[in-house]
Amino acid sequence: MNLAGRDLVTIDDLSNEEIESVFTLADEMSDSIGGQFGVCQGKVMASLFFEPSTRTRLSFEAAMNRLGGRVISVVEMSNTSLAKGESIADMARVVGSYADIIVIRHLWEGAARVVADYSDVPVINAGDGGHEHPTQTLCDLYTLKKERKTLEGLKIALWGDLKYGRTVHSLAYALARFGATIHFRPSPGLEMPEHVTRKLATEYTGRLEKYDGPRALDEKGLFPLDAIYMTPSGPHQLANIPAVGLEIELEKGVDALYVTRVQKERLGPESRLSKKGYPVVDRKLLREKGFEETMVMHPLPRVDELAYEMDADPRSMYFKQAARGLPIRMALVSLILGAREAHILQTKKPIFARKVSYPAYTRDTGIRCPNRVCVSSQETESRYIRPEFLIVSTDPLILRCAYCEHEIRPRYIASSKWHQGTAENKRYYAAKGSMISRINPDNIIIFDSESAAQEQGFKPGRRLVETGAQEGEKP
């Protein structure tokens, strides 16, 4: 295993051992930041930030400068040919011919993947809309590891805007992989998106319990707990009594409270909701029992959700998290550029991820990603991006966009095997019940409406015609 030449688009692009190897090198480099000059001499980093950034951009650029490499950068879309209608694929090809590595932040979800697909050099995702922010997760995990000496068995509460906050999505996957217990404490209306909780529940080995209890703030001024993800190795007294169990669990405190701001630049209809009831993490809250040892973490920037009076509190970690961005990004960049070798320790530590491989759906039958900020939904990009989905569930039928991971539940299906090119046999059925289980994923044809099916020459299956029933029938 070697990190040279690799892309980092999602945190799952790195194994647990590879993450630890980045930390080992970051430790070594932070002991002598000034001694790293020359490690990446002669290399050029393209730093493309099409969304505001202070920490991420400057720590990447500082990292490259301290490694002795050079940086070329763009900080506004309006200064590039993207403003003239150029696609990010064309931009990626061109920038990849000028630089040895590309770091990109973009407001479109899935943009980093497209840049990685089209450029010839490694690409690091520095945040793609509300999707993922894997290098922030490296800083967060590194801080947890430094402060707690281990990543296994930690209990972390994710707090605030879990819907649009990209940092908490990447962090949740990583914590699950290291066997942590995660408490979800969203501001009401800003719960973790379903595609994230489904991924946690199906691709990692822990258990996800949803909590449907009262939604008012509790007496400690905490958000109501929305769900809990439990590491498989932890003691579970929660088995059959989730609601009661969750409260017991809460009384025991957490290792870290990971606070996030409202991502107001991404809010949709929730903007009204989120204004009220976004409680502040302050000294009073942290005086509560159970928080004596709790670290306060935040990816920053903070707005109103984290009181300045916390800054002097030894439990506050957010400036350390930001400062650690430098050695982490120095280590990452030098590993990806092949300027340093990764020392991967093969350990016998348990793996908390499952190997799942979902069938892909790539037929163009009119299914489009519903996410308006998905890269595949953009006018400039839809000229060349072919919609691509993973079939993550068949009952009910759920497709996951391969770019932004948002989900879609199409309602109609057909099988290419059944119609065998014969117009008379081209029938579509409701995507429900036994019908779908009879179709081999390679043969499935999916439509999101009856009109889409009919436009493509399919007629309703017998049951749909006779009863209008939402149920499949035998072909």
- End-to-end C-alpha distance for the chain, whole angstroms: 49
> How far is Cα 134 from Cα 169, in angstroms, rounded to an integer?
9
Q: Which is nearer to ligand NCD, 133 or 432 (CB)?
A: 133
Measured from the CB atom, the residue of 45 and 413 that comes closer to ligand NCD is: 45
Shortest distance, CB of residue 123 to ligand NCD, whole angstroms?
A: 17
| Least separation in angstroms between CB 168 and ligand NCD | 9
Which of 261, 400, 427, 432 is close enough to bind ligand NCD by CB under 6 A? 261
Amino acid (one-letter) located at 352: F
Residue 23 identity: F
The Cβ-side half-sphere exposure at 230, using a 13 Å CA radius, reads: 17
Q: DSSP string of 132-155?
A: --HHHHHHHHHHHHHHHS--TT-E
For residues 76 to 115, the per-residue mask of contacts with ligand NCD, x marking binding by CB under 6 A and - elsewhere, is ----------------------------------------
Q: How many CB atoms lie within 10 A of CB 179?
A: 24
Shorter beta-carbon distance to ligand NCD: residue 406 or 411: 406
Residues 243, 212 contacting (CB under 8 angstroms): yes
- Compare residues 260 and 377 and give the one whose CB is closer to ligand NCD: 260
Please list every residue from 158 through 187 that binds ligand NCD, using CB under 6 A: 166-167
Binding mask 135-154 for ligand NCD (x = CB under 6 A): -x------------------
Nearer to ligand NCD by Cβ, of 103 and 444: the residue is: 103
By CB under 6 A, residue 125 contacts ligand NCD: no
DSSP-derived 3-state class of residue 34: helix
At residue 192, φ and ψ (nearest 5 deg) are -55, 135
**Least distance from ligand NCD to the Cβ atom of residue 394, Å:** 34
Work out whether 56 is an interface residue with ligand NCD (CB under 6 A).
yes
Q: Which of residues 214-253 bind ligand NCD (CB under 6 A)?
A: none
* Structural Rg of the chain based on CA atoms: 24
Q: Smallest distance from the beta carbon of 263 to ligand NCD, in angstroms?
A: 6
Q: In the chain, what's the furthest Cα-to-Cα distance?
A: 77
55 is a site residue for ligand NCD (CB under 6 A) = yes
Q: Which residue is nearest to ligand NCD (CB)?
A: 299
CB of 106 to ligand NCD, least distance (A): 11
- Number of residues engaging ligand NCD in binding (CB under 6 A): 12
Distance from C-alpha of 202 to C-alpha of 173, rounded to nearest angstrom: 11
3-state class (DSSP) for residue 263: coil
**Binders in 273-302 for ligand NCD, by CB under 6 A:** 299-301
**Among residues 261 and 432, whose Cβ is nearest to ligand NCD?**
261
- Nearest to residue 254, comparing CAs of 341, 185, 348? 185
- Element spanning 207, H or E: strand 207-210
When the beta carbons of 113 and 133 are compared against ligand NCD, the nearer one is 133
In the bound complex, what is the minimum distance in angstroms from residue 51's beta carbon to ligand NCD? 7
The Cα–Cα gap between 231 and 221 comes to 26
Q: Give the separation between CA 53 and CA 50, rounded to whole angstroms.
A: 9
Q: How far is CA 455 from CA 328, 368, 417, 458, 466, in A?
A: 53, 16, 19, 7, 20
* Contact string (CB under 6 A) for ligand NCD, positions 303-322, x = contact: --------------------
CB nearer to ligand NCD: pick between 69 and 299: 299
Closest approach of ligand NCD to the CB of residue 101, in Å? 18
What value, to the nearest 5°, has the Cα angle with vertex 98 and ends 96 and 100? 65
Distant-in-sequence, close-in-space partners of 34: CB < 8 Å, separation ≥ 6? 66
**Residue closer to ligand NCD, measured from CB, 129 or 206:** 129
Q: Which is nearer to ligand NCD, 317 or 390 (CB)?
A: 317
Contacts of 273 by beta carbon, 8 Å cutoff, 6+ apart: 187, 188, 189, 190
Smallest gap from residue 50 Cβ to ligand NCD (A) = 12
Binding stretches for ligand NCD (CB under 6 A): 55-56, 127, 133, 136, 166-167, 260-261, 299-301
